[in-house]
Amino acid sequence: MKIARVQKDGQVHLALVDEAKQEVALVGGEMGRHPNPVLAVIEQGITPAQLQAAVTARVPAAQVKFLAPFSAFLRNPFAVGKNYHDHAMEFDKSGFNATSGKDSAIPAWPQIFTKATLTLNGPTDPIRYNPAHTQSVDYEGEIGVVIGKTARNVKKADAMNYVWGFVATNDVTARDLQKNHAQWFLGKSLDGFCPMGPWITTTDEAPTDMRMQTWVNGEQRQNAHISQLIFDIPTLIEQMSAAMTLLPGDLILTGTSVGVGIGFTPPKFLKPGDRVRVAITGLGELNNPVEAI
């Protein structure tokens, strides 16, 4: 199942997506009227058959605007730093890493942080920032994991049973704030700095080895597969759930690959007028313009 929120003729709808047919099925009924319907589907364990039974219309995907699948985050999304070998090296060499270890750029343990809830942004909405506040805004295309049920002390062998689905994300970052504050929260948490969507793909329909690619103004910058993660998804869930309870609807951004702006000499930071495209097999595409405020 591919599930989304879409806007058509000024109305917001819960929708099921047929990527092959480029068609969306609009879902009505009680679930369609819920203020955060995709989250409610996950929390309540609503089945694809139940949603199909509530479909009121089918329309071409080109006739709707895809919104962020969640209308609001349940709580801060989680993210993982330096989870691809080549990116860990480029970040360590960039001069923006204020948390670098002395022995190795490759972390021995997952580096978990969070982004504020108001980072939520849609798949085609602008990434906005104030140039007086930061001039080093960077992109980080990532594969996002959506938790499907309460997880505590989960073992790796069972971890994927707690994953509801996957979603394309962009962990947008203000590198100067990330460095200056010697931690990552502020630089990761500017409003709108977490575009996600256009839909969430459930685990049964997601490709086994998803490929994530990022372009800026048509120039390809990133190209990686989920199999290249230093800490795979079961490891992340095991270690996170050992420390805390994960809840249905929690989002985990699994890490970005080599090719971010700080990896170039000189760095290629985003600027107003740019456009960032993130494509992940089976998860659709983000296509966000960059604007100054």
- Show me where the domains of the chain are located: 2-66, 78-292
Residues with Cβ within 8 Å of residue 221, at least 6 apart in sequence: 139, 214, 215, 259, 260, 261, 268
Res 195 pLDDT > 60: yes
**Can you say how many angstroms the Cα of residue 60 is from the centroid of all Cα atoms in its chain?**
25
In this prediction the pTM is: 0.94
CATH for 78-292, among 3.30.70.270, 3.60.15.10, 3.40.50.12780, 3.90.850.10?
Answer: 3.90.850.10
pLDDT score at 99: 59
Res 107 pLDDT > 60: yes
CA 53 to CA 215: how far, in whole Å? 38
Torsion of CA 44, 248, 186, 141, to 10 degrees: -100
Res 283 pLDDT > 60: yes
pLDDT, one tens digit per residue, over 47-77 is 999 999 999 999 999 999 999 999 999 999 9
pLDDT, one tens digit per residue, over 22-55 is 999 999 999 999 999 999 999 999 999 999 999 9
Q: Which residue has the tokens 């890490």?
A: 255
pLDDT score at 255: 96
> What is the average pLDDT score of the chain?
95
pLDDT score at 166: 98
Res 94 pLDDT > 60: no
Instruction: Say if CB 198 and CB 66 are below 8 A apart.
Output: yes
> To the nearest 5 percent, what fractions of the chain are helix, strand and coil?
25, 35, 40
Taking residue 194's Cβ as centre, other Cβ atoms within 10 Å add up to 29
